[in-house]
């Protein structure tokens, strides 16, 4: 299987010159995809001074909920009709992953700036197409990886930049939560199944596939790209490493019976100077949610949704005693903070006015999702896979 050239996957944001047109003080926008995430972003944009003038969703209950949050907006089922509406400065794309590439390309062709939810793409090939398309324009495109706009993450990154951890050799990430398969009940309200499928293969309407679209390869990269995009991006950002050389993944469908993508897995990534792991278990709530652990030979940095902590490296193993652990088991540095999605939206809206590059442009979006895409290829092939030149090789 051929994939995009590795050059497209390196995080190398460009600073664009100021565009001839600046956004007005209250930019108008359209929301494409008014599910839970889309409505959340819609509320944040309105809270920060933007005006929603159009809402689109293929599922009638979601469309009505989106319009409820935006009473002056016009409703659509077809996103292309939304893009044809006059007077919009930008669009939010918060649809299933398989729609991201075609909808971004159409939005650019319609002259819109874009806030694009993560993961940026449905494949490595799509990542390359999307980067190339954006760079033929001067449009602002922000990929929805909100850790890139978090002051707390910049503080944590400085710990590494200051050399406090020493040489980093291992980075561990995890994401946990105890979820189960939703009940098999009919959908409430109308669903335009054909528009939901879009570029995906034709299949009979299946409520489970619609409710849990992330669990099927036709529409998404599973939990690997959904959550892994966030965590692998932080690894690559903090270390300046770029994309991994290779990946392998083992896992299983545990509780989400009937899905294709695993909901319990461990992926291992080879980088030039360290090894990274990403473990996800959606059958367990111990230490629930996400965390990252940067292991250096001088100290360890732990980041989660409550902030970050630094733990000093113990002395030689033979000298470690219970008394030592009682005294030194607490972090030497602890910062309480949360990653705030609103910071990322604010950054995007500021860039609409300044025409400067946002904190998560498409090059970063492509690089962030490259590692999870590679892990999925490894799991589906049942082999170790490596990025080599302009393709993926199996070993």
C-alpha distances in Å from residue 81, one per residue of 16, 95, 255: 29, 16, 39
Both 113 and 218 in one domain: the answer is no
* Distance, CA of 305 to chain centre: 16
**With bands split at pLDDT 50, 70 and 90, how would you rate the model's confidence at 314?**
confident
Predicted structure pTM score: 0.90
How many distinct structural domains can be found in the chain?
Answer: 2
Whole-angstrom distance, CA of residue 178 vs CA of residue 172: 20
Q: 243: exposed, middle or buried (C-beta count within 10 Å: 0-12, 13-18, 19+)? A: buried
Domain span including residue 178 = 152-339+375-386
Both 171 and 293 in one domain: the answer is yes
Look at residue 392 and tell me if it is in a domain: no
| Bond prior to 119 in cis (omega within 30° of 0) | yes
Of 227, 238, 223, the C-alpha closest to 303 is: 238
Both 70 and 159 in one domain: the answer is no
Both 51 and 174 in one domain: the answer is no
Look at residue 312 and tell me if it is in a domain: yes
Look at residue 318 and tell me if it is in a domain: yes
Backbone CA torsion sign across 242, 248, 254, 258:
positive
Look at residue 367 and tell me if it is in a domain: no
**With bands split at pLDDT 50, 70 and 90, how would you rate the model's confidence at 317?**
low
**With bands split at pLDDT 50, 70 and 90, how would you rate the model's confidence at 391?**
confident
Look at residue 182 and tell me if it is in a domain: yes
Look at residue 391 and tell me if it is in a domain: no
Both 124 and 270 in one domain: the answer is no
Both 121 and 227 in one domain: the answer is no
pLDDT single digits (tens) 245-278: 999 999 999 999 999 999 999 999 999 999 999 9
173 and 276 Cβ atoms separated by less than 8 Å: yes
Whole-angstrom distance, CA of residue 247 vs CA of residue 224: 12
- Residue 92 belongs to a domain with what CATH number? 3.40.50.720
**With bands split at pLDDT 50, 70 and 90, how would you rate the model's confidence at 330?**
confident
Give the pLDDT score at 388.
73
Both 287 and 160 in one domain: the answer is yes
Both 124 and 251 in one domain: the answer is no
pLDDT single digits (tens) 89-114: 999 999 999 999 999 999 999 999 99
The overall average pLDDT reported for the chain is 90
Both 156 and 240 in one domain: the answer is yes
Taking each helix axis as running N to C, give the angle between helix 341-354 and helix 36-47, from 0 to 180 degrees, rounded to the nearest 10.
60
């Amino acid at each position: 299987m051929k994939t995009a050239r590795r050059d497209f996957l390196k995080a190398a944001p460009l600073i664009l010159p100021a565009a001839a047109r600046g956004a007005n003080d209250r930019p108008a926008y359209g929301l494409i995809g008014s599910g839970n995430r889309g409505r959340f972003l819609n509320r944040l944009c309105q809270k920060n001074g933007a005006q929603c003038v159009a809402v689109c969703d293929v599922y009638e209950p979601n469309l009505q909920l989106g319009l409820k949050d935006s009473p002056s907006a016009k409703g659509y089922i077809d996103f292309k009709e939304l893009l044809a509406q006059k007077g919009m400065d930008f669009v939010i794309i918060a649809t299933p992953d398989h729609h991201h590439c075609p909808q971004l390309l159409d939005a650019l062709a319609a002259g819109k700036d874009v806030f694009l939810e993560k993961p940026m793409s449905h494949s490595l090939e799509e990542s390359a197409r999307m980067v190339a398309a954006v760079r033929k324009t001067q449009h602002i495109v922000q990929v929805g990886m909100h850790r890139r706009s978090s002051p707390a993450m910049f503080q944590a990154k400085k710990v590494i930049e200051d050399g406090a951890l020493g040489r980093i050799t291992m980075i561990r990430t995890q994401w946990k939560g105890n979820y189960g398969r939703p009940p098999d009940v009919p959908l409430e309200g109308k669903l335009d199944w054909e528009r939901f499928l879009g570029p995906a293969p034709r299949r009979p309407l299946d409520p489970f596939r619609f409710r849990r679209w992330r669990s099927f390869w036709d529409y998404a990269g599973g939990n690997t790209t959904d959550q892994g995009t966030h965590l692998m991006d932080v690894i690559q950002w903090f270390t300046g490493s770029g994309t991994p050389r290779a990946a392998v993944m083992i896992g299983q469908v545990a509780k989400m019976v009937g899905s294709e993508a695993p909901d319990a897995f461990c992926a291992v990534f080879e980088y030039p100077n360290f090894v990274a792991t990403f473990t996800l278990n959606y059958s367990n709530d111990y230490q629930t949610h996400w965390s990252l652990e940067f292991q250096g030979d001088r100290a360890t940095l732990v980041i989660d949704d409550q902030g970050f902590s630094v733990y000093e490296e113990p002395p030689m193993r033979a000298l470690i005693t219970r008394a030592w652990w009682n005294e030194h088991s607490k972090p030497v540095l602890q910062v309480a903070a949360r990653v705030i999605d609103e910071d990322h939206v604010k950054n995007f809206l500021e860039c609409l006015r300044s025409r400067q590059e946002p904190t998560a442009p498409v090059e970063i979006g492509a690089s962030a999702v490259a590692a999870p895409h590679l892990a999925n290829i490894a799991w589906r092939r049942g082999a170790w896979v490596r990025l080599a030149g302009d393709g993926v090789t199996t070993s």
